[in-house]
Amino acid sequence: MKKSVRQVAAASRNTTSEQKGSFGIMTYTIVRRSFGLTWLAVLVALALPTIQAQTSPAGSSPTFAKDVAPILQNNCQQCHRPNQSTPMSLLTYQEVRPYARAIRTKILSREMPPWGVDPTVGTQAFENKMALTDAEITTITDWVEAGAPFGEAADLPAPREFAEDHVWSLPGEPDLVVASTPHLVKGGSGQTWAEVFVDLPITEERWVKAYQSKPGKDDVEIVHHMMATVILPDGEDDGFGFHYTPGKPATVYQDDAGFLLRPGSQIRFDLHFDAKEHDIVAKPQLGLILYPKGYEPKHQVDRLNFASLSELDIPAGEVTRHDGYALMRENFRVMTFMSHFHELGKRQCLELIYPDTGETEMLNCADFDFYWQTVFRYEKDAQPLIPKGTILHTINYHDNSLANRLNRDPKNWTGFGQRSTDEMAIAMFEGVKLTDEEFQQAREERLRQLEAQD
């Protein structure tokens, strides 16, 4: 199916731009390809793998108490509970039963949990993974088809205890807290956004070991997600923000790695609210754990943005694909990645074209949800090791058709811009550069791990 899409997708433009980053100047080539509406179903099929749910043995239909409740506890209740930004609670059978068929639909399409990473492409080893397994999907679908029985109360797991989202999960109290100025979210105002700038209260350079963005105690239920970004003294942002979604814990860097804060910088809070019926004053915060004064870690965490911006060309009524190519001039260990689009963004794939051999490897593909933007954190032993000379190939899909429920005007062309109705296509990476010796050592260690698993 992918081959057919590539055959019918004619390249209509090929442009080149230069982008400055930690690796010097990187040539980034953009190719746009358009798909007519007849191909929309093909793209949807690629983005949403079909789940072949197996039937449970006769006489052993799953029950809520024994089989479904543990799945909901582990994967859904972090967000779906009282005083959160989600529309319903899923703590009890009485709360879950009215939504049983809707839950079945959402998990079969993999819209929920809102993970997005394609389970058929690349590594699936992520620290913050919240996708259901095929077996868990089968359990829930069989439960729904059996009439959603409750089962025996004795089979219910103990209620899950939740850490409050307004409490720090850092390994210790933060050394520095940067608070947004209070922002009033009017009751009944629906989905709203705000941008707030705050001066960074430091007088000398400091290195960051760990960070956490979080809402305040009174605004947990309305903060859908947020991003706190460092704005450097020259007015440029550092390329990657401190992200928050409900349940996201603190980010702690590996030993002897961190990033540098400079005096004269600001923090820009980009806030997405889902208003309740009453007014709430939001007071989000960024907490940082710092290395001791005067200490410089061995590895600086680099934030790399590979962007298709001014070259975006998204005709009315079409699904488009833009391909970008960037030369990696240093060895790099990838710790996290994140996709960023606006309302027309649908999917991003990341492919490596290796030096010398030209062999290719698909790192990952991830569907995009404008209302749930996730930083994907690789497990340490699965962090991709990219040798210098590799070409990073990014593949970005936008849907400017009627089929996109977020599309406000499918009759108009769309290009790059800052408004939500304009578009972007950015692949964001966080990781560390490695010397040739460090890269070889990391590669040999990874090979030993893989051999031990065989």
pLDDT tens digits along 120-149: 999 999 988 888 999 999 999 999 999 999
Do 217 and 337 have their domain in common? no
CATH number of the domain that residue 449 is part of = 2.60.120.230
Show the domain range for 325. 2-35+301-453
Task: Output the pLDDT for position 375.
Answer: 85
Tens digit of pLDDT for each residue in 368-418? 988 777 889 999 899 999 999 999 999 999 999 999 999 999 999 999 887
Task: Output the pLDDT for position 78.
Answer: 83
Q: Quick one: average pLDDT of 51-70?
A: 72
Do 23 and 79 have their domain in common? no
Asked if pLDDT for residue 427 goes beyond 80, the answer is yes
Q: Quick one: average pLDDT of 417-429?
A: 86
Do 324 and 393 have their domain in common? yes
Do 148 and 244 have their domain in common? no
Residue 251 counted as domain residue:
yes
Do 293 and 308 have their domain in common? no
Task: Output the pLDDT for position 16.
Answer: 33
Tens digit of pLDDT for each residue in 431-440? 999 999 999 9
* Average pLDDT score, the chain: 83
Residue 163 counted as domain residue:
no
Task: Output the pLDDT for position 32.
Answer: 55
Asked if pLDDT for residue 26 goes beyond 50, the answer is no
Do 88 and 122 have their domain in common? yes
Do 277 and 308 have their domain in common? no
Do 380 and 401 have their domain in common? yes
Do 321 and 435 have their domain in common? yes
Q: Quick one: average pLDDT of 227-255?
A: 81
Residue 164 counted as domain residue:
no
Task: Output the pLDDT for position 70.
Answer: 95
Tens digit of pLDDT for each residue in 96-124? 999 999 999 999 988 898 889 999 999 99
Q: Among 319, 288, 341, which Cα is nearest to 402's?
A: 319
Residue 230 counted as domain residue:
yes
Task: Output the pLDDT for position 400.
Answer: 96
First to last CA, the chain: 32
Do 228 and 325 have their domain in common? no
Residue 166 counted as domain residue:
no
Alpha carbon of 340 to those of 266, 271, 336, 423, 426: distances in Å?
A: 22, 15, 13, 10, 5
Do 205 and 143 have their domain in common? no
Q: Among 238, 174, 262, 240, which Cα is nearest to 212's?
A: 174
DSSP 153: G
Extended strands (E) in 151-292: 176-179, 183-185, 191-199, 206-214, 223-231, 242-244, 251-252, 257-261, 266-274, 280-282, 285-290
Q: Quick one: average pLDDT of 188-211?
A: 91
Q: Among 194, 193, 196, 208, which Cα is nearest to 287's?
A: 208
Do 313 and 448 have their domain in common? yes
Asked if pLDDT for residue 1 goes beyond 80, the answer is no
Residue 41 counted as domain residue:
no
Number of structural domains found in the chain: 3
Asked if pLDDT for residue 43 goes beyond 50, the answer is no
Question: Which pLDDT band holds residue 31 (cuts at 50, 70, 90)?
Answer: low
Give the domain-ending residue among 122, 155, 188. Answer: 155
